[in-house]
């Protein structure tokens, strides 16, 4: 008789579920509302700052930053396509003889920095366009700026641990392979690609949220 696994099911984003599967980790259960969890991440000064951004005087719209149009949408879409294509090209790249986990870690970090730079630039650009709208839209831009400045350090610390988790996956696959069998390496390449694409999705969520707000205002 086959026993059912006692490991709890993993809730959360595709990124979280994928990392849990690759590391055989038992993630902490997610509980409480978003506001409850956010309260655990902010200290009292940050909480006051968020309250001010949400409930303070409506900011004046910013002038001279251009307008939201199809070209802006295309810019965001192309940035994502470029990042995806670079990630997907990894599986076809040759590794130098004797390459170890450090070579893969360096590649992951290079893609991670590219994702971070692209999404940060797009987020700032879209926030400027939002701030040029109504006072309410300018407030939304202000809140997003506050959330980025407050939560980005936490996000960066968490994301910085991903290459180490993948390094552990690399070593486990290599240790479990028969001598001379390199099929495990292709498995690892696919795993790394999947994680990068999932991280890309996570980092693009604020960009997509700002795009949705701009479409609503200009639609």
| Cα gap 76→83, rounded to integer Å | 11
Would the pLDDT of 89 be above 80? yes
Evaluate whether residue 141 is within a structural domain: yes
CB within 8 Å of 66: residues ≥ 6 apart: 129, 132
State residue 36's pLDDT score. 58
The string of pLDDT tens digits covering residues 126-161 is 999 988 888 888 888 888 888 888 888 888 888 999
- For the chain, percent of residues with pLDDT exceeding 70: 72
Evaluate whether residue 15 is within a structural domain: no
The string of pLDDT tens digits covering residues 155-172 is 888 899 999 999 999 999
| Cα gap 138→144, rounded to integer Å | 10
CB within 8 Å of 136: residues ≥ 6 apart: 58
What's the Cα-to-Cα distance from 135 to each of 6, 58, 61, 142, 167, rounded to whole Å?
52, 6, 6, 10, 48
Evaluate whether residue 4 is within a structural domain: no
Evaluate whether residue 13 is within a structural domain: no
Evaluate whether residue 125 is within a structural domain: yes
The string of pLDDT tens digits covering residues 36-54 is 556 566 664 666 666 666 6
Work out the average pLDDT over 81-94.
Answer: 86
Evaluate whether residue 36 is within a structural domain: yes
Would the pLDDT of 120 be above 60? yes
Give the helix/strand (H/E) hosting 83. Answer: helix 70-88
| Cα gap 208→73, rounded to integer Å | 10
Tell me how many domains the chain contains.
1
- Top-confidence residue, 64 or 122: 122
State residue 47's pLDDT score. 61
- For residue 93, the 8-state DSSP code is S
Evaluate whether residue 175 is within a structural domain: yes
Q: What is the pTM of this model?
A: 0.80
Q: Which domain holds residue 143?
A: 32-218
- Let me know: does 60 contact 138? Beta carbons within 8 Å: yes
The string of pLDDT tens digits covering residues 165-199 is 999 999 999 899 888 888 888 889 899 999 999 99
- Let me know: does 131 contact 61? Beta carbons within 8 Å: yes
């Amino acid at each position: 008789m086959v026993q059912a696994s006692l490991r709890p099911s993993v809730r959360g984003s595709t990124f979280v579920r994928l990392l849990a599967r690759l590391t055989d980790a038992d993630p902490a259960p997610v509980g409480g509302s978003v506001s409850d969890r956010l309260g655990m991440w902010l200290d009292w000064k940050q909480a006051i700052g968020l309250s001010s951004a949400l409930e303070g005087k409506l900011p004046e719209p910013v002038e001279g930053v251009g307008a939201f149009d199809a070209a802006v949408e295309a810019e965001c879409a192309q940035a994502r396509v470029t990042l995806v294509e670079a990630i997907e090209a990894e599986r076809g790249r040759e590794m130098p003889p004797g390459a170890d986990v450090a070579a893969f870690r360096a590649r992951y970090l290079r893609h991670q920095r590219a994702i971070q730079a692209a999404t940060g630039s797009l987020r700032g650009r879209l926030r400027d366009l939002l701030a040029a709208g109504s006072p309410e839209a300018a407030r939304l831009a202000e809140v997003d700026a506050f959330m980025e400045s407050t939560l980005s350090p936490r996000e960066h610390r968490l994301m910085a641990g991903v290459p180490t988790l993948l390094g552990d996956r690399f070593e486990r696959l290599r240790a479990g392979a028969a001598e001379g069998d390199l099929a495990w390496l292709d498995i690892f390449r696919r795993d790394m690609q999947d994680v990068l694409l999932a991280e890309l999705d996570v980092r693009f969520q604020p960009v997509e949220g700002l795009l949705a707000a701009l479409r609503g205002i200009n639609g």
